[in-house]
Chains A and B, each alone.
Chain A
C-alpha cells in the first residue's frame, strides 16, 4: 500500500526554471517526471523562488554638449535586487503632437511615437548613449531590466530630451589647440624666412648623397631604381617620396641617367609620371622622358617586391632609392640591393622598418628627416623656414614632456603636496 503523503526529497532545476523533482513516501521512492515549472514557480539552483527583476528607480536623459550632434545620454538608477537581470534594454520614442500616438503601438502614450531600440547594455551599466539622432528632435526614453525569468516594468523619462548639433567637438579642443600651436610656429617662421631672416639647417648626409648616387649611376652606365613605397597617395609618406622623386629625376635628366620607378598603386604611377615629366621638362630634357619607365606592378605587397627584387638582380641598377611607406618588404629590397653592390638611400617614417634600412642601406632618412627632404632639397627660404617652425614645435613638446615628468615624479614622491594637483591640471589641459 502506497502512502498518499509525498515527501519532497530532491529538487534540481536548470537556468530556465524547468525542474527535476524527486518524491518519496515512507515505503517507496519514485522519481517524478521532469516537471515543467517554467513561469509557474521559477527556482534558482538552490530551489529558491525567484521573479522578474525590479524596474529602475529613475531615468533621466540630457543632450551631450559640444559633440558631433544628435547625441543624448540616458542615465538611470537601478533598484536593489537587479542583480538577477542580465541586461538593460533602452528604447526611444519620438515626441508627437498632443493627442497623437496614444494606444497606437505597444506602450505608446499620448504624444509618443512607436518605441524603437536604442541599445542593449550589460546589467552593470547605468548609462547609455543615443546617437545619430535627427537634429533638434525631441525624444522620450525608457529602460527595462531583462532576465531569463522575465522583464521588469518600464521606467520612462518624465519629459522629452532634445539633441542639439553643436558647432565644435569639445572633446577635441586640446588637439585643436595643439594643431594651432604647431601651425603658428611653422607659419611664423615661413613668414620670417620671406622677410629675409637667415635660417640654418643641419647637413643631412643622405640628401647630400643623392647627387653622388645619380652621378655614380651615370658613370657606370647603369640605371637608377626609385621605389616610392607601397601605399597610396592618401599617405603623406608617399607624397613626401614623390617630392624626392622630382628632385632625383631632375638630377637624372641633367646627367642623362635612366630612371625606373615601379609603383604598387595605380594612382601613384600617375602622380609619379607627372612628377618625373615635369622634372624632365624643367631640366630641358623633355625628349628623354619615357612614361613606360614608371609602371604599375601590383597592389599585392609581396608580388611587388618579387618584381622589384628580380628586376634588381637582372638589371643591376647602380643606385637604389627607397622613399616612402614600407612594411615587411623593406629588408628584402635592401638586402637585394646590397647583394648587387648598388648605393642605397632610404627614407621612411615607418619606425618598424627603420632598423632594416639603417642596417642594410648606405644612407637612411629617419622619420622627420624624410619629411624634411623636399624642403631641404628645394633650398627655398619658405620651406627651410617651415623646418625651423617644426623644430620650435618639437622644443615646446619636449618642455611639456619634461614638465609632466617632473610633476609625475614629484606627485609620486610627495602625494600630499601641490604636485598631484598640478599634474591633474596638466592632464586636464592636455585632454587626457
Chain B
C-alpha cells in the first residue's frame, strides 16, 4: 500500500504534471483561448524555482557547516563561503547603507539595494565584477593551451580546419590588413579580412544552419517523448 502510494506520488503524479503543463504550453502558442493558461504555467514555474532556492541555500549551508564541524580539509574555505553568503544576504535584504530614494524620501528602505554608497553596491563593484571578469579572462589562457595541445593536422579535414582557423584569426586583426592589403581591387576578395567575412557568412552559416535544424528536431523529438510519457528516465530509472 505504502509502496503503491509512493509510486503514485513519485512517478505518476510528476509524469502527469509534466504532460499536462507541457501540452498547455504547446497549445497556448497556437490557440488564444489557452494563452492565459500558458502564462499561468510559466508563472507557476517561476514561483516553484524561487521556493526551490530556499532548499538550495539550505543545502549550501548544510554541506558547508558539516565540513566545518568535521574539520575536513579546506574547512576554512567553507567558513569563508558561509560568512560571505551571510554578509551579502544581510546587506542586500536589509539595504544597509542605501540612501533614501528621491522619489519616496519618507518611506523606509525606499532606495535601490545597489545604489551608489551602499554596501551591496560596493560588493558588486569591487568583488563580483573583478572576480567574474577574471574568470572569464581565464578562457584566453585555456584556449591557447587547448590550441597547442589539440589542433593537429592529422588528416585532410584537420588541415582544412586549421587553414580556415588561420584565415579567420588573421582576418579578424590588423595582421590580415598588413599581409594582404596590397592586393589590387579585382583580387580584394582574397584579402584576409574579406575572406574571413566570406567564411563566416557562407561556410559557417551553412554549417550552423545544419546543426541548428538537427538540434531543433532533436529537441522536438525529446520533448514529444517526455510529453507522451514514453521517456520517464528524467525521473530516474526504475520504471
Binding site for B on A (CB under 8 A): 67-69, 165-169, 172, 176, 179, 182-183, 186-187, 190, 232-234, 236, 239-240, 242-243, 246-247, 249-250, 263, 265-267, 269-271, 274-279, 281-282, 292, 295-298, 300-303, 305-306, 314, 328-329, 331-332, 334-335, 338, 349, 351, 354, 356, 359-360, 366-372, 374-375, 377-378, 382-383, 386-387, 389-390, 393-394, 397
User: Complex formed: what's the CA distance from A275 to B237 in Å?
Assistant: 7
| Residue in B53, B63, B221, B226 whose CB lies within 8 Å of A182 | B221
User: Complex formed: what's the CA distance from A354 to B214 in Å?
Assistant: 14
Q: Are B235 and A351 in contact (CB under 8 A)?
A: no
User: Complex formed: what's the CA distance from A266 to B46 in Å?
Assistant: 12
Q: Chain A nearest CB: distance from B191 CB in Å?
A: 25
Q: Are A390 and B221 in contact (CB under 8 A)?
A: yes
Q: Are A246 and B48 in contact (CB under 8 A)?
A: no
| Residue in A169, A233, A282 whose CB lies within 8 Å of B32 | A169
Q: Are A300 and B35 in contact (CB under 8 A)?
A: no
User: Complex formed: what's the CA distance from A295 to B60 in Å?
Assistant: 7
Q: Is chain B's binding surface mostly helix, strand, loop or mixed?
A: helix
Residue of A nearest to B213 (CB): A397
| Residue in B56, B222, B237 whose CB lies within 8 Å of A236 | B222
Q: Chain A nearest CB: distance from B41 CB in Å?
A: 10
Q: Are A243 and B233 in contact (CB under 8 A)?
A: yes
Q: Are A183 and B224 in contact (CB under 8 A)?
A: yes
User: Complex formed: what's the CA distance from A187 to B223 in Å?
Assistant: 12
Residue of A nearest to B33 (CB): A167
Residue of A nearest to B224 (CB): A186
Cβ of B87 < 8 Å from any Cβ of A?
no
A-B contact pairs, 16 of them (CB 8 A): A165-B33, A167-B33, A186-B221, A190-B230, A234-B45, A243-B231, A243-B234, A266-B59, A267-B52, A301-B132, A302-B132, A302-B136, A305-B135, A331-B146, A351-B208, A374-B233
Q: Chain B nearest CB: distance from A380 CB in Å?
A: 8
Interface string of B30-53 (1 = CB under 8 A from A): 111101000000000100110011
Interface string of B58-89 (1 = CB under 8 A from A): 01101100100000001000000000000000
Q: How many A-B residue pairs have CB under 8 A?
A: 215
| Residue in A279, A331, A367, A390 whose CB lies within 8 Å of B211 | A367
User: Complex formed: what's the CA distance from A372 to B225 in Å?
Assistant: 11
Q: Are A366 and B211 in contact (CB under 8 A)?
A: yes
Q: Are A246 and B236 in contact (CB under 8 A)?
A: yes
Given contacts A278-B237, A314-B74, A397-B213, contact A360 B220 (CB under 8 A): no
Query: Looking at the complex, which of B102-110, B113-121, B137-145 is the stretch in contact with chain A?
Result: B137-145
Q: Chain B nearest CB: distance from A201 CB in Å?
A: 13
| Residue in B33, B53, B54, B142 whose CB lies within 8 Å of A335 | B142
Residues of the A chain whose Cβ atoms lie less than 8 Å from the Cβ of B74: 314
User: Complex formed: what's the CA distance from A130 to B231 in Å?
Assistant: 44
Q: Are A332 and B135 in contact (CB under 8 A)?
A: yes
Q: Chain A nearest CB: distance from B82 CB in Å?
A: 13
Residues of the B chain whose Cβ atoms lie less than 8 Å from the Cβ of A276: 236
| Residue in A186, A233, A279 whose CB lies within 8 Å of B236 | A279
Residues of the B chain whose Cβ atoms lie less than 8 Å from the Cβ of A270: 52, 55
